[in-house]
Chain A
Amino acid sequence: MSEHHAPIPTEPVPNPEDPGTFVPVRTAADGDQSTWFTRNVKGIVKATYVLAAVLVLLDFTYGKHSHFEIEDIFGFYGFYGFVGCVTLVLLAKLLRKFVMRPEDYYDR
């Protein structure tokens, strides 16, 4: 994935939005650049999985106020959200085949 990203700059880059200023960049002297987030990505993902499981199991514990029968299915909202998002992303990926153009498409 990294090949799509801009190369990591080694010296301050000009900021076109605030002319005359430069955006500071990471230097070798900065040392370890890990943060709470980068150290705990795996933990966050695991927590999401656990939370998801707990939330579905909670379905046993309360009375639903449903408008439609489909809502009464065990874990309906979780299932629908997951399937919906996977479908969304895969269809969007497919959409790229039809609508994606080079960045300078309109300038040519």
Chain B
Amino acid sequence: MKLINSFVIAIRSLSANKLRSSLTMLGIIIGVGAVITLMSVGRGAQASITSVFEQMGTNVLYVMSRSPGVEGLGGMSPVFVTPTLTMDDVKALERIPSVVAVLPVNENFVKVTAGGESKTAIIHGSTPEYLEVYNYSLASGQFIAERNVASRDRVAVLGDEVAEELFGSDDPIGERVKMKGQRFTVIGVLEAKGGAMMGVSMDNIVVTPITTFQTRLFTQQTASGEDAVQSISLKVASTEAIDEVREEIEPVLRKRHRLSADEENDFAIVSQEQILSLVGQVTGVFTIFLGAIAGISLLVGGIGIMNIMLVSVTERTREIGVRKAVGAKRRDILLQFLLESAMLSFAGGGIGIIGGWLLSRLISRISIGGMTIQAVVSPDIVILAISVSVFIGLASGIYPAMRAARLNPIDALHYG
């Protein structure tokens, strides 16, 4: 028998049971759709997070406080750490050759209010180099100047989103905003940047002088009672100089912190590359996790197909008997049932891909807290989903098909 005949038989028998066929396909449609959607969202999140770090360039080093003796990331988490870095450390690091800019950054969440409007934003306490190191540009007004830092001025530069939310189309320059019960003068507005960092839009930001942050907003002291700096970013002249600078930071800070030879560093130096690979790992696990959840629904869809095909074999035992009586070989019956399940899963997979693609397009349009995830349906995800669904179709079809093919014609004819 020619293969085309098997296709005709399979199509006829599937279309004879339209409702059952479409319900069976639904399992695969949902499974494949979920795989496509979740994996593309995962990839999109990965890409958007990675791009934020990449924007800052690969020639940046970060220095953070670290609690000696605490392993891994916990040693660097602000929750567990007694801060060790100060503005004097910043000044000392500025003297290292090949360092273009040294930027202290203190970070927190703050509620900003102006008039009747309010918005919760990220607040960065920093210095004039902030624009350069973080790749922002000014839309209007001015940025924080050295004298603002020196005199702990209550001035703020607003991110695009914050300005938009609080002032709408009005010009915010010179206006007042309130943070932690204190009035700040808006001196500048940042150009919109797009993108998000850890789920928070990079335009949902307020920048103040670091000294103002330290003394008026969120006070935090080192063990010796100095005002603390949470992290220091160093912009290095070139990517090649990174390792060299990294080695010079260590003795400078050790000396300043008066660490004896047998004491561990109370700070950690992290390169952009390390962060990227860490972020890649985390988001990769996240994507795999999402994919696995979707994979389970695909598996359930496959079991659904197997179930229906088994029922169908039992229900159609007589039909199989008739077919065998008029000359169908084992192979013909096997092929018929296998093709039926393969076609179900293939069609279901196709619809699932289109559905998943539409859904991820939809998700790309939704903004969650100012962040949009550009869900990317890449060919490898599609190929993965198709091959998994065809595999499931064949795997779940093969057992029922073999049962059907093995039936003795005479037993099949006398069934039921």
Whether A and B are associated in the same complex: the answer reads no
